[in-house]
Amino acid sequence: MKHLILLLSVFMAISACSKGTTPEADYEIINIYPHNTTYFTQGFEFRGDTLVEGTGHYENSKLLKYDHTNSQIYAEINLSSAFFGEGVTILNGKVYQLTWTSGICLVYDYETLTQENTFSYTGEGWGLCNDGTDLINSDGSSTIYFRSAADFSIKRTVTVSTSSGINVDEINELEYANGLIWANIWGENSIISIDPTTGNVEGRYDLSDLRELAINEYSGSNVLNGIAYKDSSFFVTGKYWPNIFEIKLNDQRP
Ligand SMILES: [Ca+2]
Protein backbone atom coordinates (compact mmCIF):
# COMPACT_ATOMS: atom_id res chain seq x y z
CA MET A 1 0.00 0.00 0.00
CA LYS A 2 2.89 2.39 0.78
CA HIS A 3 4.24 1.85 -2.71
CA LEU A 4 0.84 2.60 -4.17
CA ILE A 5 0.53 5.82 -2.16
CA LEU A 6 4.03 6.88 -3.29
CA LEU A 7 3.10 6.10 -6.86
CA LEU A 8 -0.07 8.10 -6.38
CA SER A 9 1.83 11.13 -5.12
CA VAL A 10 4.10 11.09 -8.16
CA PHE A 11 1.16 10.53 -10.46
CA MET A 12 -0.84 13.37 -8.95
CA ALA A 13 2.14 15.74 -9.16
CA ILE A 14 2.67 14.91 -12.83
CA SER A 15 -1.04 15.19 -13.46
CA ALA A 16 -1.25 18.60 -11.76
CA CYS A 17 1.71 19.90 -13.81
CA SER A 18 0.22 18.58 -17.04
CA LYS A 19 -3.02 20.50 -16.51
CA GLY A 20 -1.21 23.77 -17.27
CA THR A 21 -3.89 26.38 -16.81
CA THR A 22 -5.56 24.35 -14.05
CA PRO A 23 -2.85 23.99 -11.43
CA GLU A 24 -5.20 22.68 -8.77
CA ALA A 25 -6.54 19.16 -9.27
CA ASP A 26 -10.26 18.55 -8.93
CA TYR A 27 -9.69 16.32 -5.92
CA GLU A 28 -7.28 15.12 -3.29
CA ILE A 29 -6.82 11.47 -2.35
CA ILE A 30 -7.24 10.89 1.38
CA ASN A 31 -7.04 7.11 1.54
CA ILE A 32 -7.30 3.98 -0.55
CA TYR A 33 -9.27 0.86 0.37
CA PRO A 34 -9.67 -2.52 -1.34
CA HIS A 35 -12.58 -3.26 -3.67
CA ASN A 36 -13.58 -6.65 -5.06
CA THR A 37 -12.79 -6.79 -8.79
CA THR A 38 -15.79 -9.06 -9.41
CA TYR A 39 -18.18 -6.27 -8.36
CA PHE A 40 -19.78 -4.49 -11.32
CA THR A 41 -20.64 -1.52 -9.12
CA GLN A 42 -24.05 0.07 -9.68
CA GLY A 43 -25.05 1.30 -6.22
CA PHE A 44 -22.80 2.66 -3.46
CA GLU A 45 -23.90 4.25 -0.17
CA PHE A 46 -22.89 4.30 3.49
CA ARG A 47 -25.15 3.74 6.47
CA GLY A 48 -22.95 4.77 9.40
CA ASP A 49 -19.64 3.01 8.81
CA THR A 50 -21.23 0.19 6.81
CA LEU A 51 -20.92 0.33 3.05
CA VAL A 52 -23.87 -0.94 1.03
CA GLU A 53 -23.07 -1.90 -2.55
CA GLY A 54 -25.28 -3.17 -5.34
CA THR A 55 -23.78 -4.85 -8.38
CA GLY A 56 -25.03 -5.54 -11.87
CA HIS A 57 -25.04 -8.03 -14.73
CA TYR A 58 -27.50 -10.84 -15.24
CA GLU A 59 -26.81 -13.90 -13.09
CA ASN A 60 -24.21 -11.95 -11.10
CA SER A 61 -26.16 -9.13 -9.43
CA LYS A 62 -25.73 -8.77 -5.69
CA LEU A 63 -26.60 -6.62 -2.72
CA LEU A 64 -23.93 -6.46 -0.02
CA LYS A 65 -23.20 -4.82 3.31
CA TYR A 66 -19.53 -4.72 4.28
CA ASP A 67 -16.68 -2.99 6.09
CA HIS A 68 -14.85 -0.98 3.43
CA THR A 69 -11.62 -0.93 5.45
CA ASN A 70 -11.09 -4.70 5.25
CA SER A 71 -13.83 -6.03 2.92
CA GLN A 72 -15.46 -8.03 5.76
CA ILE A 73 -18.95 -8.88 4.54
CA TYR A 74 -21.82 -8.48 7.01
CA ALA A 75 -24.59 -9.62 4.67
CA GLU A 76 -24.87 -10.59 1.03
CA ILE A 77 -27.65 -11.74 -1.26
CA ASN A 78 -27.80 -12.75 -4.90
CA LEU A 79 -30.55 -11.27 -7.05
CA SER A 80 -32.72 -13.44 -9.26
CA SER A 81 -30.88 -14.24 -12.48
CA ALA A 82 -33.59 -12.31 -14.32
CA PHE A 83 -32.51 -9.04 -12.71
CA PHE A 84 -29.63 -6.74 -13.65
CA GLY A 85 -29.05 -4.77 -10.43
CA GLU A 86 -28.66 -1.01 -10.57
CA GLY A 87 -28.75 1.88 -8.06
CA VAL A 88 -29.08 1.39 -4.32
CA THR A 89 -30.12 3.70 -1.48
CA ILE A 90 -31.03 3.37 2.21
CA LEU A 91 -33.97 5.22 3.77
CA ASN A 92 -35.87 4.65 7.01
CA GLY A 93 -34.55 1.14 7.62
CA LYS A 94 -35.10 -0.04 4.05
CA VAL A 95 -32.70 -0.67 1.18
CA TYR A 96 -34.05 0.14 -2.27
CA GLN A 97 -32.41 -1.41 -5.33
CA LEU A 98 -33.30 -0.62 -8.93
CA THR A 99 -33.11 -3.04 -11.81
CA TRP A 100 -31.95 -1.94 -15.24
CA THR A 101 -34.77 -2.90 -17.64
CA SER A 102 -37.14 -4.98 -15.51
CA GLY A 103 -39.10 -2.00 -14.18
CA ILE A 104 -38.83 -3.40 -10.66
CA CYS A 105 -37.48 -1.68 -7.54
CA LEU A 106 -36.61 -4.27 -4.88
CA VAL A 107 -37.19 -3.24 -1.25
CA TYR A 108 -35.31 -4.95 1.60
CA ASP A 109 -35.04 -4.70 5.36
CA TYR A 110 -31.72 -2.95 5.98
CA GLU A 111 -30.67 -5.16 8.89
CA THR A 112 -31.25 -8.55 7.27
CA LEU A 113 -31.43 -7.71 3.54
CA THR A 114 -34.64 -9.74 3.51
CA GLN A 115 -36.75 -8.69 0.53
CA GLU A 116 -40.01 -7.20 1.77
CA ASN A 117 -41.62 -5.50 -1.18
CA THR A 118 -41.34 -4.49 -4.80
CA PHE A 119 -42.36 -1.35 -6.67
CA SER A 120 -42.85 -1.10 -10.41
CA TYR A 121 -41.86 1.79 -12.65
CA THR A 122 -41.76 2.68 -16.32
CA GLY A 123 -38.50 2.94 -18.23
CA GLU A 124 -34.97 2.06 -17.21
CA GLY A 125 -33.46 2.16 -13.72
CA TRP A 126 -29.93 3.58 -13.34
CA GLY A 127 -28.81 5.55 -10.25
CA LEU A 128 -30.60 5.93 -6.92
CA CYS A 129 -30.17 8.09 -3.80
CA ASN A 130 -32.43 9.96 -1.38
CA ASP A 131 -32.67 13.36 0.32
CA GLY A 132 -34.05 11.99 3.58
CA THR A 133 -37.64 12.20 2.31
CA ASP A 134 -37.85 11.23 -1.34
CA LEU A 135 -36.14 8.58 -3.41
CA ILE A 136 -34.22 10.15 -6.30
CA ASN A 137 -33.36 8.18 -9.44
CA SER A 138 -31.80 8.54 -12.85
CA ASP A 139 -32.61 6.57 -15.99
CA GLY A 140 -29.71 7.36 -18.28
CA SER A 141 -31.34 10.47 -19.66
CA SER A 142 -30.98 14.06 -18.40
CA THR A 143 -34.09 13.65 -16.22
CA ILE A 144 -33.87 13.05 -12.48
CA TYR A 145 -37.00 11.71 -10.77
CA PHE A 146 -38.11 12.44 -7.20
CA ARG A 147 -40.31 9.60 -5.98
CA SER A 148 -42.40 8.72 -2.96
CA ALA A 149 -40.67 6.17 -0.72
CA ALA A 150 -44.11 4.74 0.06
CA ASP A 151 -45.06 3.65 -3.46
CA PHE A 152 -42.35 4.90 -5.85
CA SER A 153 -44.80 7.31 -7.52
CA ILE A 154 -43.21 10.31 -9.25
CA LYS A 155 -43.59 13.53 -7.25
CA ARG A 156 -41.54 15.78 -9.54
CA THR A 157 -38.69 15.77 -12.03
CA VAL A 158 -35.80 18.07 -12.90
CA THR A 159 -33.75 18.25 -16.09
CA VAL A 160 -29.99 18.31 -15.60
CA SER A 161 -28.49 21.14 -17.65
CA THR A 162 -25.43 23.36 -17.70
CA SER A 163 -25.40 27.14 -17.25
CA SER A 164 -25.33 27.30 -21.06
CA GLY A 165 -28.63 25.45 -21.18
CA ILE A 166 -27.18 22.22 -22.54
CA ASN A 167 -28.85 19.13 -21.15
CA VAL A 168 -26.54 16.54 -19.58
CA ASP A 169 -27.62 12.97 -20.14
CA GLU A 170 -26.16 9.56 -19.22
CA ILE A 171 -26.68 10.48 -15.55
CA ASN A 172 -25.73 7.31 -13.68
CA GLU A 173 -24.94 6.48 -10.03
CA LEU A 174 -26.11 9.13 -7.56
CA GLU A 175 -25.33 10.44 -4.08
CA TYR A 176 -27.11 13.10 -2.05
CA ALA A 177 -24.73 15.17 0.12
CA ASN A 178 -24.41 18.75 1.31
CA GLY A 179 -27.77 19.68 -0.20
CA LEU A 180 -26.69 18.66 -3.72
CA ILE A 181 -27.07 15.60 -5.93
CA TRP A 182 -23.74 14.15 -7.03
CA ALA A 183 -23.74 12.03 -10.17
CA ASN A 184 -21.47 9.89 -12.29
CA ILE A 185 -21.75 10.55 -16.00
CA TRP A 186 -21.71 7.16 -17.68
CA GLY A 187 -18.54 6.59 -19.68
CA GLU A 188 -16.90 9.90 -18.75
CA ASN A 189 -15.13 9.05 -15.47
CA SER A 190 -16.35 12.35 -14.08
CA ILE A 191 -18.69 13.55 -11.36
CA ILE A 192 -21.05 16.50 -11.49
CA SER A 193 -22.91 18.23 -8.67
CA ILE A 194 -26.51 19.18 -9.36
CA ASP A 195 -28.88 21.63 -7.70
CA PRO A 196 -31.82 19.39 -6.72
CA THR A 197 -34.36 22.20 -7.13
CA THR A 198 -33.35 23.46 -10.58
CA GLY A 199 -31.30 20.65 -12.08
CA ASN A 200 -28.48 23.11 -12.79
CA VAL A 201 -24.97 21.66 -12.87
CA GLU A 202 -23.01 23.36 -10.08
CA GLY A 203 -19.61 21.68 -10.52
CA ARG A 204 -17.78 19.13 -12.61
CA TYR A 205 -14.88 16.97 -11.42
CA ASP A 206 -12.60 15.00 -13.72
CA LEU A 207 -11.64 11.73 -11.99
CA SER A 208 -10.20 10.01 -15.06
CA ASP A 209 -6.78 9.82 -13.36
CA LEU A 210 -8.33 7.53 -10.76
CA ARG A 211 -9.43 5.17 -13.49
CA GLU A 212 -5.88 5.13 -14.82
CA LEU A 213 -4.66 4.15 -11.36
CA ALA A 214 -7.30 1.41 -11.20
CA ILE A 215 -6.34 0.07 -14.65
CA ASN A 216 -2.66 0.09 -13.72
CA GLU A 217 -3.46 -2.22 -10.81
CA TYR A 218 -6.15 -4.30 -12.56
CA SER A 219 -6.46 -4.17 -16.34
CA GLY A 220 -10.11 -5.24 -16.20
CA SER A 221 -11.17 -2.03 -14.45
CA ASN A 222 -14.23 -0.61 -16.21
CA VAL A 223 -15.66 2.91 -15.92
CA LEU A 224 -15.93 5.07 -12.81
CA ASN A 225 -19.27 4.36 -11.12
CA GLY A 226 -20.05 4.61 -7.44
CA ILE A 227 -20.16 7.65 -5.18
CA ALA A 228 -20.71 7.36 -1.44
CA TYR A 229 -20.39 10.11 1.17
CA LYS A 230 -19.34 9.74 4.82
CA ASP A 231 -17.76 12.04 7.39
CA SER A 232 -17.11 14.87 4.93
CA SER A 233 -15.36 12.59 2.42
CA PHE A 234 -16.46 11.13 -0.87
CA PHE A 235 -15.68 7.47 -1.53
CA VAL A 236 -15.57 6.57 -5.21
CA THR A 237 -14.98 3.38 -7.13
CA GLY A 238 -15.78 1.85 -10.48
CA LYS A 239 -17.03 -1.30 -12.12
CA TYR A 240 -14.52 -4.08 -11.43
CA TRP A 241 -12.09 -1.60 -9.81
CA PRO A 242 -9.57 -2.95 -7.27
CA ASN A 243 -9.80 0.19 -5.15
CA ILE A 244 -12.16 2.48 -3.33
CA PHE A 245 -10.69 5.99 -3.24
CA GLU A 246 -11.56 8.29 -0.34
CA ILE A 247 -11.25 11.79 -1.75
CA LYS A 248 -11.92 15.43 -1.00
CA LEU A 249 -13.44 17.28 -3.93
CA ASN A 250 -12.12 20.81 -4.27
CA ASP A 251 -14.72 23.49 -3.79
CA GLN A 252 -15.75 24.89 -7.15
CA ARG A 253 -18.16 27.49 -5.84
CA PRO A 254 -17.30 31.07 -6.80
CA1 LIG B 1 -24.34 6.53 -4.10
CA of 59 to the centre of ligand 1 (A): 22
- Rounded to 5 degrees, what angle do the CA atoms 181, 184, 189 make? 145
User: CA dist 127 to 137, 144, 156, 249, Å?
Assistant: 5, 9, 16, 20
204 in Cβ contact with 190 (< 8 Å): yes
Residue 123 has a pLDDT of 97
pLDDT for the residue 253 = 58
The whole-number pLDDT of residue 24 equals: 59
Gap from CA of 246 to ligand 1 centroid (Å): 13
| Ligand 1 geometric centre to CA of 50 (Å) | 13
Task: In whole angstroms, give the CA distance from residue 79 to residue 72.
Answer: 20
Tens-place pLDDT, residues 196-208: 999 999 999 999 9
Q: Which residues of 209-234 are buried (b: 16+ CB within 10 A; e: fewer)?
A: bbbebbeeeeeebbbbbbbbbbeebb
**Would you kindly state where each structural domain of the chain is located, as residue ranges?**
2-230+237-249
Q: How far is the CA of 2 from the centre of ligand 1 (A)?
A: 28
CA of 22 to the centre of ligand 1 (A): 28
Q: What is the pLDDT of residue 165?
A: 96
Length of the chain: 254
Report the C-alpha dihedral over residues 186, 217, 248, 12, rounded to 10 degrees.
-110
pLDDT at res. 7:
47
- Residue 4 has what pLDDT? 52
- The CATH class of 2-230+237-249 is mainly beta
Q: Which residues of the chain have pLDDT under 70?
A: 1-25, 253-254
